[in-house]
Amino acid sequence: MDDSGTLMVKVEFMPSGRRAVVPLGSLLTDAMQEAGVLLPLDCGGNGSCGRCLSTPVGQTSDPTPSEMRLLDTSQRKEGLRLSCQTQVLGDLSVMIPEFQETADSSWPVDAGDGGGINVDSPIIRSIPCDVPRPGLDDSRSDVGRVLDGVAPQHEQHTLWADHVTAGQLSQKARCFDWHVNAFLRGSEVVGVSQQGQGPLGLALDLGSTKLAAYLVNLETGNILAARGRINPQVIMGADVVTRIQRAISDPADGQRLTRLIRDAAQALAQELVYSVGTDTGHICEMSLVGNSAMTHLLLGLPLEQLGSPPFVASTDQALDIKARELGLNLAPGAYLYIPPLIGGFVGSDNVAMIMGADLDKPGPCRLGLDIGTNTEVVLTVPGNKNHLFIASAPSGPTFEGAHLSSGMRAMGGAVSKVRIMGLDISFETIDGQKPSGICGSGIIDIIAEMLREKIINKQGHLDRSLDRTQGERQSIRYVLIPGDQTSTGKDISVTQSDISQVQLAKAAINAATNTLLAKAGLAVSDISEIILAGSFGSHIDVENARCIGLIPDIPGAIYKQVGNAAGKGAQLVLNNRTQRQRALAVPGMSSYVELTRESQFNSLFARSLAFP
């Protein structure tokens, strides 16, 4: 019982051992959040996605109708429950299944081509100085003597440090016996370190579903480490629209969304610096790119005007903010730079993607696609001045593995490649683990193979006469891998509804592309290069993506898979003034097309639903 007389119970989560004490009757998801076990809640916890699985041992509420509908008999026998539906009615021990991914797990990400980034017009400069110790005959302030030591080596003579940097400088200078490196940003000292220890930078690509962070040596431009993490906001909804609605209807939810993303950014910074044996105090500059909703949530900007037509951002300017204002614990004076956004939901991540894929540079007619929950579509129109037509297609989280009956994110055990030849099905999983579900690249292969094998027709209807096809009407499904071969014991299947989800997602991307082509007065055959950005775009089988109509099938066109171009763009602007000027120019050469205002979008969408 707590001070107010509320009966409290203890919940322990395994295998992490994290614990929470919560009021009797709380939902398991509340206990998880209290304990820091961040299970993605794709439907926002309303009991419709069936993805928040856990096995509680102890007293809990009876299964709800949602659980009876979404869990099969064998899962119920094993004691699996939907965490968002289960009330805690006594002390509990809760097992999070091995196949279940939590939002606090992280993984290494591709650090790019290994070439590092250009720092020829740096924002941060590191200046070594040996400073005389204070004495009775030299009573200059600590900051004053460091600035005097730096001044002869720097063209700016009005150097300064703010009070927070000054507070740390006094301690650090003594700790390093007055042999320090001062990190300068223009005329401001933003941090100091021991001599020999250079300044570090952090570039962060803040996606709706995943974050990717890169730790960079700001003197050499080398990428020292890179890690990814699930965006922990997924515990409050898989897509940004759900999150925005929650933030608008309850300010406490808005604050929580802001806190979650700031904490995740800090956690990634910490992981990265620990991996190279230093601390976050050496990070002097940070760049961040994200769509408009993500940046608004990070900064705590108003969301009402972004959440309803005409979907207006609070600001579209490039921002330069003290990182500590967001609660980020980096070098004391470190800044966070966010490039400008383009319009509506098309944010700085799109500017970064355009830069990372060189779409702002002159060239032939190109189509850039960064496929995700919102797919960024960029069409470059060659001419005297390169012009960009840009839209954000509402493709949904299907290709993140969400909204699929056997879907999962691209992690160990996800079926990522599939071949079907008659009755034979061969597949590969990520890391070669026992199959647990289907990720985005897997579903593209599966649909392409089902089309080739005529298991589905061009309208996407499943052939009901096959041995592997089970169920009736709405619940009809094609069993890809039977439960006795999977890690969950449950069949991995493709349902009629899964096929519809893929059709909806690819139709949104297709209709957005065709809307931009119509705006530019071009035909699909005018496109000579298709650039697939993002981790999903880099892992898909291009032939299969063309086969199902996810990307245009243009004979003779060049298809390039360029990796995380938005992450590359975040690295480019991290410590380079010229690249920041380049970022500022991108909105000026762009025409943002708000698809909800385009009358042709709906008819193009309807026409794109069938498979080619």
User: Do residues 287 and 203 lie in contact, with contact meaning Cβ atoms separated by under 8 Å?
Assistant: yes
User: Do residues 168 and 150 lie in contact, with contact meaning Cβ atoms separated by under 8 Å?
Assistant: no
CA distance linking residue 498 with residue 444, whole number of Å: 11
User: Do residues 27 and 67 lie in contact, with contact meaning Cβ atoms separated by under 8 Å?
Assistant: no
In the bound state with ligand FES, the residue whose beta carbon lies nearer, of 249 and 581, is 249
In the bound state with ligand FES, the residue whose beta carbon lies nearer, of 94 and 127, is 94
402 sits near ligand FES (criterion: CB under 6 A): no
Which residue among 41, 331, 390, 448 contacts ligand FES (CB under 6 A)?
A: 41
User: Do residues 55 and 80 lie in contact, with contact meaning Cβ atoms separated by under 8 Å?
Assistant: yes
CA distance linking residue 466 with residue 463, whole number of Å: 6
51 sits near ligand FES (criterion: CB under 6 A): yes
82 sits near ligand FES (criterion: CB under 6 A): yes
CA distance linking residue 7 with residue 434, whole number of Å: 42
What phi and psi values does residue 226 have, to the nearest 5 degrees? -145, 135
In the bound state with ligand FES, the residue whose beta carbon lies nearer, of 48 and 538, is 48
Distance (Å) of CA 506 to CA 59, 440, 444, 500, 544: 45, 12, 10, 10, 13
Query: Please, what is the minimum distance in Å from the beta carbon of residue 27 to ligand FES?
Result: 10
CA distance linking residue 316 with residue 354, whole number of Å: 17
Considering only the stretches 47-55, 256-264, 392-400, 505-513, report the one whose residues sit in contact with ligand FES under the rule CB under 6 A.
47-55
Query: Among 187, 268, 275, 183, which Cα is nearest to 230's?
Result: 268
Query: Please, what is the minimum distance in Å from the beta carbon of residue 30 to ligand FES?
Result: 12
43 sits near ligand FES (criterion: CB under 6 A): yes
In the bound state with ligand FES, the residue whose beta carbon lies nearer, of 241 and 584, is 241
Which residue among 47, 198, 412, 612 contacts ligand FES (CB under 6 A)?
A: 47
What phi and psi values does residue 456 have, to the nearest 5 degrees? -125, 155
In the bound state with ligand FES, the residue whose beta carbon lies nearer, of 88 and 447, is 88
CA distance linking residue 156 with residue 184, whole number of Å: 10
52 sits near ligand FES (criterion: CB under 6 A): yes
CA distance linking residue 40 with residue 370, whole number of Å: 22
Query: Please, what is the minimum distance in Å from the beta carbon of residue 240 to ligand FES?
Result: 17
Query: Please, what is the minimum distance in Å from the beta carbon of residue 66 to ligand FES?
Result: 7
Cis preceding-peptide flag for 15 (omega within 30 of 0): yes
DSSP run (H or E) holding 379: strand 375-381
In the bound state with ligand FES, the residue whose beta carbon lies nearer, of 82 and 480, is 82
84 sits near ligand FES (criterion: CB under 6 A): yes
In the bound state with ligand FES, the residue whose beta carbon lies nearer, of 49 and 547, is 49
50 sits near ligand FES (criterion: CB under 6 A): yes
Contact flags string 478-507 toward ligand FES, x per CB under 6 A:
------------------------------
Query: Please, what is the minimum distance in Å from the beta carbon of residue 41 to ligand FES?
Result: 4
Which residue among 27, 32, 38, 49 contacts ligand FES (CB under 6 A)?
A: 49
- What residues does 351 pair with on adjacent strands? none
Q: Is 263 exposed, middle or buried (0-12, 13-18, 19+ CB in 10 A)?
A: middle
In the bound state with ligand FES, the residue whose beta carbon lies nearer, of 37 and 388, is 37
In one-letter notation, the amino acid at residue 348 is: S
Assign 3-class secondary structure to 434-499: CCCEECHHHHHHHHHHHHHCCCECCCCCECCCCCCEECCHHHCEEEEECHHHCCCCCCEEEEHHHH
Residues 420-459 that bind ligand FES (CB under 6 A): none
Query: Please, what is the minimum distance in Å from the beta carbon of residue 366 to ligand FES?
Result: 39
Contact flags string 268-307 toward ligand FES, x per CB under 6 A:
----------------------------------------
42 sits near ligand FES (criterion: CB under 6 A): yes
Query: Please, what is the minimum distance in Å from the beta carbon of residue 192 to ligand FES?
Result: 47
Which residue among 45, 191, 394, 549 contacts ligand FES (CB under 6 A)?
A: 45
Query: Please, what is the minimum distance in Å from the beta carbon of residue 209 to ligand FES?
Result: 15
In the bound state with ligand FES, the residue whose beta carbon lies nearer, of 52 and 200, is 52
Q: Give the Cα-Cα-Cα angle 377, 258, 394 (nearest 5 degrees).
A: 25
Tell me which residues touch ligand FES (CB under 6 A): 41-43, 45, 47-52, 82, 84
